[in-house]
Amino acid sequence: MTSNFQDLASLIALHAEYAACIDEQRFADWPGFFTEDCHYRVVARENHEAGYPLAIMSLKGIGGLQDRVYGVTSTVFHAPYYQRHIIGLPRVTACDGDSLSVEANYLVIRTRRDMLSEVYNTGRYIDRIVRTKMGLKFAEKLCIFDSELIPNSMIYPI
Amino acid sequence: MTLTSQLTRGEVEPGAIWPNADFSRVPSKVYTDPDIYSRELDRIFYGRHWNYVGLEAEVPEAGNFKRTAIGERSVIMIRNRQGEINVLENRCAHRAMRFCQEKFGKVKTLVCPYHQWNYNYDGKLLGVPFQRGVRGNGGMPEDFRLEDHGLPTLKVARRGGLVFASFDNDVEPLEDYIGPAVLAYFDRTFNGRKLVVQGYSRQRIPGNWKLMMENIKDPYHPGLLHTWFVTFGLWRADNQSQLVMDERGRHACMISTRSEVVDPEVTKGVTSFRRNMKLNDPSLLDIVQEEWWNGPTVCMTTVFPSVILQQQVNSLSTRQIIPVGPDKFDFVWTHFGFENDSDEMTERRMHQANLFGPGGLVSADDGEVIEFSQQGFEQDQDFTTMCELGGTEIGNADHMVTETLIRGMYRYWREVMDI
């Protein structure tokens, strides 16, 4: 099902850039990884598997992502923390012209001020990635997390 | 004398740790002391109170079960062949195994895998392997009776699609427990329409469980802490509102109606109010008035001790409180809609859910502030809270600038805890 070696290299680079953007808290740049009419969702595995529609975050279009960024950076009170994303190798599950279906495991470590680092959230991305003139962009990004309990809150994107 | 020795002797003098005759000061130990917490489990969660266990819709058919907890005791809600719902303790009568490990499922019988003791949907022990021994050897004694070894069954009450249970058989009827004033608002949402589960969110909040009850009995904070509420009028001090309690002060409703026009007096100096904030995705606030609201756009109900019932515009959820020690609790959100909802309404409810839950633009910071309150109580055990907004009296109100509901809860808490 895999497309070609060049695609795979581009997907690895995309994930690396994506992780760096979030982990370095360049949140204003985060919507730039997505298409104009994207859909970004963070969903508990139990809801995903049971077919329930509820998400922790369900953001539509670049505008929805920008609203979240405004919320995260300007309005939602929270203890500051670092995130560190470890993203596994991409697994291309379908390739249809300029649209790639790609999955990858992820692990997010959270480090709060004065605290030990902890496994914060773990799961898998199920993405639909499209080729655009601006390079590869996420048309859909679904973060399905195994974690049964969110340690208090989830503020920043995954 | 330390508090611990007072409590283990079971002879706490009322007022020994309570600084005032009224309910306007709550001492740190109420949130931190392990003995007080242990007494809360016994007297409140395992005592004569109704605890939320779930929605009927979660167990639609005979044999469908849901595992949850009341206090720290694991329980199973299961539907039997008569369509009744039982709540059984998840603890085998043999070796105490918490045999049920899945959260949901459908079974023919409940089997403890350790020695295959086998129970029906009513918790009755159906059989044990080798009861009569093998080739004349061993087995259970002659006087062993299956009926003496069922699973503990809790008293169950259902209303409007919600299921409550109590470890105390002598608990009053659910309707009397909730009381007519709060029941009217309960029935406003849960009026017999069939509920549809839309998913779960689960978070562990490092704070005492009562802080979450207080959070939803505190109409003072939403218009200050939560930018999204203040700015878009979802909860603001100029909204027309009502605070309603049951007679004993344990349950309450905070009811309010969204205002589009802003009274400058209530936003002056409120840094969370952002006059020029505009949404890039306005569909987040695509609020559609529903007939059953009969006016109010929000009704937050606390049913002591274990559940909060949320209607905030089109977003609906139950929020279950499961304590796991004096300093933390699990908070389980069950979002739901109604059977007759259009696809657009379901989509709307889900989109508005971005405001709520562990990642909610509003609710995420409630968990955070609870965590930091708990840290403050831990660091200063001699501290007492200041809970005098609106005076020291306890009573219903038609405004938001009061902590009367919190005082009401502690009046009841002191009574049942004998502290």
CB contact under 8 A, B272 and A75: yes
- Inform me whether the pLDDT recorded for B46 exceeds 70: yes
Q: Which residues of B touch A50 (CB under 8 A)?
A: 104, 199
Any domain includes A153: no
Any domain includes A156: no
Give the domain extent around A45.
Answer: 5-145
Fold match, B51-158 / B179-417: no
DSSP state of B21: S
Any domain includes A151: no
CB contact under 8 A, B371 and A152: yes
Alpha carbon of B210: minimum distance to chain A alpha carbons (Å): 16
Using the Cβ of B346 and the Cβ atoms of chain A, whether some distance falls under 8 Å is answered with: yes
Using the Cβ of B373 and the Cβ atoms of chain A, whether some distance falls under 8 Å is answered with: no
CB contact under 8 A, B353 and A64: no
CB contact under 8 A, A53 and B225: no
Closest residue, chain A, to B356 (C-alpha)? A56
Domain map of chain B by residue range? 51-158, 179-417
In tens, the pLDDT along B4-31 reads 444 444 455 555 789 888 999 999 999 9
Task: Pick B34 or B274 by higher pLDDT.
Answer: B34
Any domain includes A157: no
Closest residue, chain B, to A47 (C-alpha)? B199
Strand stretches in B153-306, DSSP E: 155-159, 162-166, 195-205, 240-245, 252-257, 298-303
Our CA angle for B33, B43, B309, nearest 5°, is 90
Specify the CATH number for the domain of residue A68.
3.10.450.50
Instruction: Tally A–B CB contacts below 8 A.
Output: 121
Across residues B145-169, what is the average pLDDT?
Answer: 98
Binding-site residues on chain A for chain B (CB distance < 8 A): 42, 44, 46-47, 50, 52-64, 66-68, 70-71, 74-79, 148-155
Question: Which pLDDT value is given to residue B358?
Answer: 97
Question: Which pLDDT value is given to residue B2?
Answer: 42
Classify domain B51-158 by CATH number. 2.102.10.10
Our CA angle for B373, B377, B381, nearest 5°, is 170
Question: Which pLDDT value is given to residue B306?
Answer: 98
Closest residue, chain B, to A155 (C-alpha)? B359
% of chain B at pLDDT higher than 90? 84
Q: Which residues of A touch B281 (CB under 8 A)?
A: 59-61, 63-64, 66-67
Lowest mean pLDDT among A20-29, A77-86, B267-276: B267-276
Q: Mutate one of A34, A75, A81, A108 to test the B interface: name it (highest B CB count within 10 A).
A: A75
Helix (H, G, I), strand (E, B) or coil at B61: coil
Across residues A121-139, what is the average pLDDT?
Answer: 97
% of chain B at pLDDT higher than 70? 96
To which H or E segment does residue A96 belong? strand A91-96
Classify domain B179-417 by CATH number. 3.90.380.10
Any domain includes A59: yes
CB contact under 8 A, A59 and B358: no
Q: Which residues lie closer than 8 Å to B50 by C-beta, 6 or more apart?
A: B157, B164, B165, B166, B171, B174, B177, B178, B303
Which ipTM did the prediction report? 0.96
Question: Which pLDDT value is given to residue B401?
Answer: 93
Using the Cβ of B365 and the Cβ atoms of chain A, whether some distance falls under 8 Å is answered with: yes
Any domain includes A150: no
Any domain includes A64: yes
Cα–Cα dist A27/B369, whole Å? 23
Alpha carbon of B350: minimum distance to chain A alpha carbons (Å): 6
Task: Assess contact for B25 and B385: CB atoms under 8 A.
Answer: yes
Helix (H, G, I), strand (E, B) or coil at B210: helix
| Tally of CA atoms within 13 A in the half-sphere of B138 that contains its CB | 6
Domain count, chain A: 1
CB contact under 8 A, A152 and B205: yes
CB contact under 8 A, A153 and B354: no
Question: Which pLDDT value is given to residue B16?
Answer: 75
Any domain includes A154: no
- Of residues A46, A75, A152, nearest to B368 (C-beta): A152
Q: Which residues of B touch A76 (CB under 8 A)?
A: 227, 361, 364-365
Using the Cβ of B292 and the Cβ atoms of chain A, whether some distance falls under 8 Å is answered with: no
In tens, the pLDDT along A47-76 reads 999 999 999 999 999 999 999 999 999 889
